Amino acid sequence: MPERVASTAAGDWAPSAVQRDRDEWRRRRTLRSAAIAAASTLLLLGALAGAVVSSPGWDRVRETYFSWDKAVSSFPAVLDGLWLNIRVMAICWVLILVLSLTVAVVRTLRGPVAFPLRLLGTAYVDIFRGLPLLLVIFLLGFGGPALRLQGLPTSPLFWGGTALVLSYSAYVAEVFRSGIESVHPSQRLAGRSLGLSYGQTLRHVVLPQAWRRVIPALMNDLVSLQKDSGLIAVLGVYDAIRRAQIETSLDFNYTPYVVAGALFCCLTIPMARLTDRYARKKGYHGAGGHL
Amino acid sequence: MSTELLRLEGVRKSFGDHVVLSDVDLSVEPGQCVVLIGASGSGKSTLLRCVNLLEVVDDGVITFEGRDITDPRVDGDEVRSRMGLVFQSYNLFPHLDVIGNVTLALRLVHGVGSEEARTRGLAMLERVGLAEKATARPDDLSGGQQQRVAIARALVANPRLMLLDEVTSALDPELVGEVLDLLGELKDEGVTMLLNTHEMGFAREVADQVCFLHAGRIHEQGSPEQVLGDPQQERTRGFLSRIRA
């Protein structure tokens, strides 16, 4: 707990000789650590690169996986496909958040009246966490359009997206539920003691605290969804992976897959850094201070 | 060659623009009990945390057992292993039982074998009157009992100096006595203590030296009779009258 005092002017203080010594020593140590880190990183990367490049068969590997010309020629198609992945991912993520939060709230309802709802929620989570995602995509993606249900589109994109939403919501619901249950019961009591209803307490007291705690886990699932949005390629949708597959099948050069992989990483890595920053801004901290 | 166990000279600590301690001089002789008093936010806790190297001072020198522990080359873990710190909110490890809490540092830091650690831990729990709670979980204990476990945990490795940070402030009034009684006994056994408290009666009873802090500076220090009985400074008088009111 930081202690508060009336600040004595910070301006009239100059570090003593001892302190200047310490600061100088710390500065030198920081510099030395940085130099050692840089040197060892370069050494390691250099050794790795050297080992790879000098290994027999490297030429064939480079030609098959890292052909620059092939990368350039396949890039527009793969990028175009990636745009579809991004749209699928964004729309699915919103739906997943809504559905999973609803399921999580339902599963934490108290009282006998809510029993059927809780049962439904539990059954849903159990089933969709148990089913392999690919199986759900096959079931809905190939089976759904064939049903020709009135009012529902037959596009594989729609059914593939539905499969993603159903599967992921089951996982994300559990993330939300763990967050909700990690909020200490005394917070609920404090809310109710002010006259807030159950719902108001949930909305204004419990969920905001739960949300903060589960952000890292949520982002983990979002990153995972970005990749798994590529699974709908099996339905024949022209996403990045499917486009890369087509490009590859022209001459059996696998560079387009590498291009697609690099593009997916370009999506997920910034997302991870962004999450870290958001989390820090929200006041998460790991081990305190310098310890 | 001084006989001091701990000496602070010109210690300064700030958080951002916020100067929490400035120009603090203080010394603690072996076997002494030095009590810090002052309003909330006067820097008492920060002072203890600086001594325990939980905070890095901005300036000044802290000497412990004749060595400058504020030197950045010093191994902080080793220094802390020779001190005991007790927190206001106990900070027991909830995933360990009582004996597990007490023996953790003995086993991990001091290299004591499990058997001996257990024997010493039980003896220490006996000492604080909680031997029968050895296998209980911290959550099943009262606040006073938890704080006595925390004291046992800090004391079991024979620290040269005990730091006690408002150890009774989180306790119900009827539980304060058991903890203060224990501290009084430790003082009689010759344990060196640096503590801060709002219990003036306790300070008067056990302190060899009382220091009044205000806005990060020590405004008055001396025997409890002087500082508490006949304060010379206006600020000290004001603080004491507010405490008693």
Same domain, B151 and B168: no
Residue-level pLDDT at A3: 43
Check residue A237 and give its pLDDT: 81
Domain containing B148 equals 95-159
Given a cut of 50, the residues of chain B with pLDDT beneath it are 1
Q: Which residue of B has its CA nearest to A291?
A: B54
Domain-located, residue B213 = yes
pLDDT tens per residue, range B100-115 = 999 999 999 899 999 9
Does B87 reside within a domain? Answer: no
- Residue from A3, A16, A26 to probe the interface with B (highest B Cβ count within 10 Å): A3
Highest mean pLDDT, choosing among A95-99, A110-114, A185-189, B233-237:
A95-99
Q: What is the number of structural domains in chain B?
A: 2
Same domain, B57 and B103: no
- Domain-embedded: residue B22: yes
* C-beta neighbour count of B209 within 10 angstroms: 20
Q: Greatest CA span in chain B, whole angstroms? A: 56
Residue B205, amino acid: E
Shortest CB distance from A16 goes to which of B14, B17, B59? B59
Mean pLDDT of A243-263: 84
Whether B215 and A6 lie within 8 Å, measured CB to CB: yes
Is the pLDDT assigned to residue A12 strictly greater than 80?
no
* Whether residue B167 sits in one domain with residue B151: no
Is residue B135 situated within a structural domain?
yes
Q: Which chain A residues have any C-beta within 8 angstroms of a chain B C-beta?
A: 1-8, 10, 13, 15-16, 18-19, 22, 25-26, 29, 289-291
Answer yes or no: is B58 within a domain: yes
- Taking CB atoms and an 8 Å limit, are B73 and A290 in contact across chains? no
Angle at B15 between CA B12 and CA B18, to 5 degrees: 85
Question: End of a domain among B136, B159, B182?
Answer: B159
Domain end, chosen from B159, B174, B200, is at B159
Looking at the DSSP bridge assignments, the partners of residue B196 are B36, B165
pLDDT for A5 = 44
In a domain, B28, yes or no: yes
Would you state the pLDDT for residue B245? 58
Token pair 């999450």 is found at: A275
Dist CA B112 CA A166 (whole Å): 55
Cross-chain CB nearest to B17 (options A3, A10, A289):
A10
Domains of chain A: 88-237 (1.10.3720.10)
Same-domain pairing of B136 and B232:
no
B183 and B197 share a domain?
yes
Do residues B192 and B202 share a domain?
yes
CB-based contact A137:A234 (threshold 8 Å):
yes
Are B198 and B217 members of one domain?
A: yes
Domain termination site, one of B159, B182, B215: B159
Does the pLDDT at position A4 exceed 60?
Answer: no
Structure tokens of A227? 């990749």
Bin A55: left if φ > 0, else alpha if -120 < ψ < 50, else beta.
beta
B189 and B167 in a common domain:
yes
Contact B29, B85 (CB under 8 A): no
Name the pTM for this structure: 0.73
Q: A95 in the Ramachandran plot: left (φ > 0), alpha (ψ -120 to 50) or beta?
A: alpha
pLDDT on residue A10: 54
Does residue A287 surpass a pLDDT of 80?
no
Domain CATH for B178: 3.40.50.300
Q: Specify if B233 maps to a domain.
A: yes
Same domain, B75 and B189: yes
What is the pLDDT at residue A1? 42
Do B181 and B138 lie in a common domain? no
Both B169 and B227 in a single domain? yes
Same domain, B203 and B232: yes
In whole angstroms, give the CA distance from residue A222 to residue A219.
5
Residue B125 near residue B99 (C-beta atoms within 8 A) = yes
Q: What are phi and psi of B40, to 5 degrees?
A: -60, 135
Residue B21 within a domain: yes
Centre a 10 Å sphere on the Cβ of residue B34 and count the other Cβ atoms it contains: 21
CB contacts, 8 Å: B48 with chain A: none
Q: Would you give the DSSP letter of residue A7?
A: P
Residue pair A176/A101 in contact (Cβ under 8 Å)? The answer is yes
SS3 label, residue A169:
helix
Q: Which of A1, A7, A29 faces B17 most closely, judged by CB atoms?
A: A7
A199-222 mean pLDDT: 87
Q: What is the pLDDT of residue A284?
A: 57
Average pLDDT of A266-282? 78
Are A8 and B54 within 8 A, CB to CB?
Answer: no
Answer whether residue A283 shows pLDDT above 50. yes
